[in-house]
Amino acid sequence: MTNATQGQNAMTTYAKGLEGVIATDSKLSFIDGEKGILEYIGIPIGELASHSTFEETVFFLWNGRLPKKAELDAFVASIRARYEIPKGVEALLTTIPATAEPMHAIRTLVSALGLHDPKPNAIDVPTVREKALNILAQTPTLLAYFHRHRQGKPLVRPDSGKSLCENFLYMLNGAAPTPAMTKALDVCLVLHTDHGLNNSTFTTRVIISTESDLYSALTGAIGSLRGPLHGGANEGVMRMLNQIPSVAACESFIQDKLAKKDKIPGFGHRVYKAYDPRASHLKVLAKQLAQDTGNMDLFEKSSAIEAVMNREKAAKGIYPNVDFYSATTYHCIGLPLDLFTPMFVIGRVGGWSAHALEQLSNNRLYRPSVDYTGPHNVPYTPIDKR
Ligand code: ACO
């Protein structure tokens, strides 16, 4: 592969899957895949996970600096004031089949928010920030309402006295969560907010670069995130953990999969060739939550899988990614399996929006080239001669 930043030469650069190609510049997150470093605007992810909150992290990414106390209070208040969704979207939500997967539902519902925006197409940065704030505040409500609807339970209205995570768990379960569960979800969202030019963030930037609207960009991003090679892997991890009957059975299960060249969900990464720093943080969190909630079997199975992957030659250099220990974490928080990837959506709306804002403030349409490998100058065959 040649250097993709060489102006005209970029037209002749070829990298399948755009691997290693620099497609834009960004001040938002830095990843050193060799050293296992992730920073949001220079602050190591572990620092933010330990000391920040999801709301503060989003402010940070949208403004390029940490807020002062009054600024954070105002930002939090403006999120809390937006929890409720438009009545028309609520009506649409109740028509979604109970059998629909939450990722399909949330994709449709985020798109539907745009139908109730009087100016959906506005792309000036201040207006897009307002839209992003609405989507950030309302995505948890959409998910909680959909989950209640599919269970045939009455909707629980948002409580603007609660933080985004506490309010989400409250609307989902109809009961206030413990501070420990709220904190655990908050840490997960901080860890998931942004991650360089990952597939769904790239999707966001590609769509917004046509000067299309934020709803379209985030709807596309949700579609991208759903895939099992991207955000969908956390559900794959949980399915795998459920499939393995015991800690002792992990060894043969993983060996069999590796022998068949199957991918182990929650392992490997296009960028990280070292331990994903989000995974190391989640591992500690998952262990604590598993102890507190009587789910140590899940944590022990996860550790056993990691040990086999560490030891096996076929898996050398393939480490757990963010999805691996988030599966145990979400299970311990009490979330059903098919809400795992939607949790990623709630967090990543903050990062996708930050990238949309950054793209719009210095836009260049994405339009890569293709290496055409088909034939040329083929004569047209009339239909009766084919
Ligand atoms: N299990 C076993 N082997 C693996 C795994 C895995 N999880 N991941 C990669 N490998 C192997 C591949 O088989 C390949 O081996 P080979 O060279 O002998 O053929 C080699 O490592 C390189 O793998 P690629 O698939 O080419 O690497 P790529 O950069 O395309 O893939 C990806 C990254 C898609 C994340 C991959 O590791 C994978 O499919 N992992 C499982 C799904 C997953 O956990 N996705 C979540 C990623 S994090 C996120 O998006 C939030």
Question: How many domains are there within the chain?
Answer: 2
320 ligand 1 Cβ < 6 A: no
Q: What is the pLDDT of residues 206-247, one digit of tens each?
A: 999 999 999 999 999 999 999 988 898 899 999 999 999 999
**373, part of any domain:** no
Regarding whether 239 and 264 lie in a shared domain, the answer is yes
Regarding whether 205 and 284 lie in a shared domain, the answer is no
342 ligand 1 Cβ < 6 A: no
Nearest-angstrom CA–CA distance, 160 and 323: 30
Instruction: Look over the chain and give the mean of its residue pLDDT values, rounded to a whole number.
Output: 95
Q: What CATH number is given to the structural domain containing 164?
A: 1.10.580.10
Residue 331 designated active-site: no
Provide the β-strand partners of residue 61. none
Regarding whether 272 and 201 lie in a shared domain, the answer is no
318 ligand 1 Cβ < 6 A: yes
Q: Read off the pLDDT band of 314 (50, 70, 90).
A: confident
220 ligand 1 Cβ < 6 A: no
Higher pLDDT, 18 or 315: 18
For tokens 């930002």, name the residue. 75
**φ/ψ (deg, to 5) at 38:** -130, 130
Q: Read off the pLDDT band of 317 (50, 70, 90).
A: confident
Question: Are the beta carbons of 9 and 2 closer than 8 angstroms?
Answer: yes
Nearest-angstrom CA–CA distance, 194 and 187: 13
**φ/ψ (deg, to 5) at 158:** -65, 155
Q: Per-residue pLDDT averaged across 304-328, rounded?
A: 90
Q: What is the pLDDT of residue 11?
A: 57
Rounding to the nearest 10 degrees, give the CA dihedral for residues 307, 311, 315, 316.
120
Q: What is the pLDDT of residue 5?
A: 42
Q: What is the pLDDT of residues 177-205, one digit of tens each?
A: 999 999 999 999 999 999 999 999 999 99
Regarding whether 301 and 248 lie in a shared domain, the answer is yes
**195, part of any domain:** yes
Regarding whether 153 and 39 lie in a shared domain, the answer is yes
What's the CA-to-centroid distance between 273 and ligand 1, angstroms? Answer: 11
**φ/ψ (deg, to 5) at 29:** -135, 145
Regarding whether 159 and 55 lie in a shared domain, the answer is yes
Regarding whether 297 and 184 lie in a shared domain, the answer is no
**169, part of any domain:** yes
Regarding whether 135 and 80 lie in a shared domain, the answer is yes
Q: What percent of the chain has pLDDT over 90?
A: 92
Cα angle 192-51-81, degrees, rounded to a multiple of 5: 70
**170, part of any domain:** yes
Question: Are the beta carbons of 103 and 200 closer than 8 angstroms?
Answer: no
Q: What is the pLDDT of residue 62?
A: 98
Regarding whether 200 and 154 lie in a shared domain, the answer is yes
Q: Read off the pLDDT band of 3 (50, 70, 90).
A: very low
Question: Are the beta carbons of 58 and 349 closer than 8 angstroms?
Answer: no
Helix (H, G, I), strand (E, B) or coil at 267: strand
**Conformational region of residue 274, where left means phi above 0, alpha means psi within -120 to 50, and beta covers everything else:** beta
Catalytic residue among 149, 195, 323, 355: 323
Q: What is the pLDDT of residues 45-74, one digit of tens each?
A: 999 999 999 999 999 999 999 999 999 999
| Domain final position from 314, 333, 352 | 333
pLDDT at 8 over 80: no
Atom of ligand 1 nearest to the CA of 230: 50
Q: Read off the pLDDT band of 312 (50, 70, 90).
A: confident
| Domain final position from 317, 333, 349 | 333
Regarding whether 123 and 268 lie in a shared domain, the answer is no
Q: Per-residue pLDDT averaged across 8-27, rounded?
A: 83
Regarding whether 345 and 263 lie in a shared domain, the answer is no
Q: What CATH number is given to the structural domain containing 316?
A: 1.10.230.10
Q: Tell me which residue range forms the domain holding 158.
A: 29-228+337-361
Question: Are the beta carbons of 199 and 224 closer than 8 angstroms?
Answer: yes
**384, part of any domain:** no
Query: Both tokens of residue 298?
Result: 């899940």
DSSP 154: P
Q: What is the pLDDT of residue 197?
A: 96
Q: Per-residue pLDDT averaged across 360-372, rounded?
A: 95
Instruction: Please state, in angstroms and as integers, the Cα–Cα distance from residue 246 to each residue in 250, 258, 301, following that order.
Output: 7, 19, 7
**329, part of any domain:** yes
**309, part of any domain:** yes
Residue 51 designated active-site: no
Listed in order, strand segments (DSSP E) in the chain are: 29-32, 37-40, 43-44
What's the CA-to-centroid distance between 203 and ligand 1, angstroms? Answer: 20
Regarding whether 294 and 198 lie in a shared domain, the answer is no
Q: What is the pLDDT of residues 161-182, one digit of tens each?
A: 999 999 999 999 999 999 999 9
**115, part of any domain:** yes
